[in-house]
Structure 1
Amino acid sequence: MTAAALSDILSSARVVALPLRTRFRGITVREAVLFEGPEGWTEFSPFVEYDDAEAAAWLAAAVDFAWAPTPAPLRTSVWVNATVPAVEADRVADVLDRFPGCRTAKVKVAEPGGTIAEDAARVAAVRRYLGPEGRIRVDANGLWNVDEAEHAVHAFADCDLEYIEQPCASVAELAELRRRIKYMGVPVAADESVRKVADPLAVARAGAVDVLVLKVQPLGGIRSALRIATEAGLPVVVSSALESSVGISMGTFLAGALPELEYDCGLATVSLFEADVTAEPLVPRDGMLPVSRVAPDPALLAAHEASADRREWWLERVGRCHALLSGGVAGTHYSDDR
């Protein structure tokens, strides 16, 4: 990790709580720590249920983005996909209206308590909205077994999926599903099997997937994610971890630095928020986001400041994660100095 004293991080740290338009990943408010370094503002926002060892990689990424120059971008803007939470089919159009110009949609499926029939209706509604030329990917967050995932792929067959993301939890299950559905021409993508394991390349070496989903914060930073992409030798999708525009800007620089970017990026999730920390949020225009840094607006930082107890909770977490990084622990994957 690029060196940064804890005092330097805390001196500018602001903790914000941003409301979401729709429940997403079980939450209605997204909390984050924003702080400023020599290169600009950055974000630390691991989900609250993650332990310190996993969250430390998020801090490594945040510090690297604020203290080290970014790799030279190969493009000035990136195509992005719309994201459709697990809403009822009749609400799909309202969600997609918030993603102007996006030609691709990622649809959340396998919501606990939901059914494949409900998922299929949601996916079909997205297909009707996008038309025959639109691209649809679905994301199950590893919640199906192989049989359930195979059944779901058949249920979505009429909607011409671009790929299915993390349909099952384990590498062995992904490999088995990929074998079963290969004749259908639906690629399998990995997300959690890249960012929540000790070896992010294991799923690629096993031949279990066709596409890797890369999220810059959990992977320890832009350079770490670039190395994973290079060594995996598979097409990649750059996606968000439900960040504010400050965190999304980190993802745009990863996407901008990739030599090849075949798939639209999952970086348009600011459109799922009711509020942001900048007056010019990174939301899609003509289906694209610029590769650019974002500085928060002081008035918006104040308006969305977290409560005192939540601020204390987050700053203590920053301190614990910084101590882990200083001791050479950088989560469950590559650290920036490997």
Structure 2
Amino acid sequence: MRSLNNAVVVITGASSGIGKATALAFARRGARLVLGARRAEPLEATAHECRQLGAEALAVPTDVTDEVAVQALAQSAIDAHGVIDLWFNNVGTGVFGPYWEAPVGLQKKVIEANLIGTLHGASAALPHFLKQRRGVLVNMCSMGGWSPTPFAASYAASKYGIRGFTASLRQELTGHPDIHVSAVFPALVDTPGLAHAANVSGRRIDPPGPFLTPEAVAEVVVGLARKPRDEVAVGWPATAARVAYGLAPGLAERGIGAAMRAALRRARPDARSEGAVARPVSTGTGTRSGKPVWHVRGPSAGSLALGGLGLLLGAELLAGVLTRRG
């Protein structure tokens, strides 16, 4: 798309965080938004902010685990505008803590929201793309789609699944050169998402950061509308994690595990919670949560490779130190 003015963009998970930031970013370019999320009031608030920027915006309360609801979201876009130019599968949630500490039903809801919700979105968008002979499908992945995420095993399973699904779907569509399928892999992002996650660890979820801004991720998605790419990392830690795990998966896995266990030991006690995994909560309706953030710069290929090697060596050294300390 050379111009985003009047482009029709569907975004799920648009009531807060990256979804809301992306809606506002497209609104500033004059796109027409069709927004979905479980929470009706925060979703309408996002749509209202988009309208204040001069864009058309329609709020359609949608639970992405409900296939019928996602199909209705797509049909709302077609009924209102006749086409869908870009569909952004953005919903993401997780359960933090040892896998066996959470009911399997709660773990299944993570898979249903993240992975099955992405499948539902693709199933809703692709028939229209094929009819139009064009369209961009963007799936939200994570640096957790490239390397393990200890103490968030079902989240990692969903993200690995999204990456595999996206790559496979891309190959199925090679005969349709104007239909593009992209995946976005951000590092840690400052959104209400951590507060919305379930936590069965008994410890506070408080990563040291620094964090990306959701606006930085939103700009990447906007860029994919103009120039689609297969896989896009946001923030050098995401690329470094990919390089490290690709070069030496065993060493990287042990290092990541040691770092996560050490972080859990240092974390302050906190109440166990199902967060917003099982049902929506009223808190966390903005784009950010207020953590310290840093801005994305464009590192060279050499610096990314060095970053990956540095992460790999640092992880192995940390694993050795923590092992010796017992």
TM-score normalised to the size of structure 1? 0.31
TM-score normalised to the size of structure 2? 0.32
Bigger share in strand: 1
**Which structure's relative contact order is higher, taking Cα pairs within 8 Å and 6+ residues apart?**
1
Bigger share in helix: 2
